[in-house]
Amino acid sequence: MRHLLLRRLAAIPLTLLAISALVFLATEVLPGDVARQILGREASDATAAQLRDELGLDRPLPVRYADWLVSFFSGDWGTSYTLKVPVRELVFERLGASMLLAVFAFVLLVPVALLIGVLAGLYHDRPVDRILSVTGLALGATPEFVTGVVLMVVFAVSLRWFPVSAQADPGASLVNRLEHLVLPAVSLVLLCLGYVARHVRASTVASVRSPYVRAAELRGASRFSIVTRHVLRNSTVPATSALGVQAQFLLGGLVSVELLFNYPGIGALLLTAALDKDLPTLQAAALVLGFCYLLITLAVDVVYRLLDPRLRLGVAV
């Protein structure tokens, strides 16, 4: 385990360097002129050229990349072109809001996916299994913004059980903030549910047919004991990788959900920065998200090895 952590931690700086280069190049090829976007179309050519010079946009690309990289890792992320606020504080504020939504959705996803997957596996090839599997596949094939619109119309507009907007009032309590996040979190959960539940179902079916479960049944162990002590524990191991993939997907799926529910997260910030050609904000937010992806991947590998003793002992699987 220690060697794994050391190898992964040593690879993070090189991976971040590659991500930073891709992010910088991607932002440079965005259509539009930054100076014209800031000043407006009616600005004169001389004024636009002066602003490009002030922002350093007329310098060679490798020079600008090196300066941005040094400034970023030294803590100076610059100032937003459009919002006129420090990029570092802005990105971390929006990242914290998105993390609250993503963690809330993940906390809802884990028990529901395990429950549905185990039930489908225990009743495999029966009506319960078919209904749960088809429903999960249908929800997974439905985009999150479509599911979000349906949830909003039914539970916010018609029934008025939850707020339409995910943005709570300033100074609101954590309970009130979570109440506003129920509908966007559920829309994310429904999208990821089928994928995770299928992995849990497949592992449950294999566990039920395993010799140790049959031996437990012959010894007279109760169904509840077999499920909790054997089936459920073994089903969580392959589900870990699926949950890790979906945790990464939650970050990527935040853009449409945050825009739909008017939530000030980093997904909405990314899209706004791209549309406004706010390069410092866009580059910083994209690189921070890349770092979050790396941390999630590392956490999944560690948890997977903690749950599976064969990997901890170096046994081939």
Structure token pair of residue 109: 């996803």
Structure token pair of residue 29: 């090829």
What type of residue sits at position 209?
A: R
Structure token pair of residue 39: 């000043």
- Which residues, listed in sequence order, are joined to residue 307 by a DSSP beta bridge? none
What domains appear along the chain, each with residue ranges and CATH number?
Answer: 2-73 (no CATH), 87-312 (1.10.3720.10)
The pLDDT tens digits of the residues spanning 152-164 come to 999 988 988 998 8
Rounded CA separation 307/301 (Å): 10
pLDDT band at 303 (very low <50, low <70, confident <90, very high): confident
- Which residues, listed in sequence order, are joined to residue 86 by a DSSP beta bridge? 79
Rounded CA separation 54/109 (Å): 48
Report whether 224 contacts 119 (CB < 8 A): no
Residue 302's Cβ-side half-sphere holds a number of Cα atoms within 13 Å equal to 15
Mean pLDDT, range 255-261, rounded to an integer: 86
pLDDT of amino acid 317: 44
User: Between these two residues, 303 and 63, which has the higher pLDDT value?
Assistant: 63
Report whether 162 contacts 230 (CB < 8 A): no
> Residues 6 or more apart from 291 whose CB is under 8 A from it?
12, 16, 19
Residue 142 confidence (pLDDT) above 50 = yes
Structure token pair of residue 126: 């029966």
Q: Is the pTM of this model over 0.75?
A: yes
User: Between these two residues, 37 and 290, which has the higher pLDDT value?
Assistant: 290
Mean pLDDT, range 63-79, rounded to an integer: 89
In eight-state DSSP terms, residue 29 is T
pLDDT of amino acid 87: 92
Structure token pair of residue 190: 């429904």
Residue 168's Cβ-side half-sphere holds a number of Cα atoms within 13 Å equal to 18
The pLDDT tens digits of the residues spanning 23-62 come to 888 877 777 777 777 777 777 778 878 877 887 777 888 8
Q: How far is CA 97 from CA 35, 165, 166, in A?
A: 30, 14, 11
pLDDT band at 316 (very low <50, low <70, confident <90, very high): very low
Mean pLDDT, range 15-19, rounded to an integer: 87
Residues of the chain with pLDDT > 90, as a percent, come to 7
- Which residues, listed in sequence order, are joined to residue 131 by a DSSP beta bridge? none
**290-295-298 Cα angle (round to 5):** 130
Residue 138's Cβ-side half-sphere holds a number of Cα atoms within 13 Å equal to 6
User: Between these two residues, 163 and 301, which has the higher pLDDT value?
Assistant: 163
Rounded CA separation 290/242 (Å): 19
Task: Kindly report the average pLDDT of the chain as a whole number.
Answer: 81
User: How many helices (H) and strands (E) would you count in the chain?
Assistant: 15, 0
Give the phi and the psi of residue 160 in degrees, each rounded to 5: 60, 40
The pLDDT tens digits of the residues spanning 116-132 come to 888 888 888 889 888 98
pLDDT of amino acid 89: 93
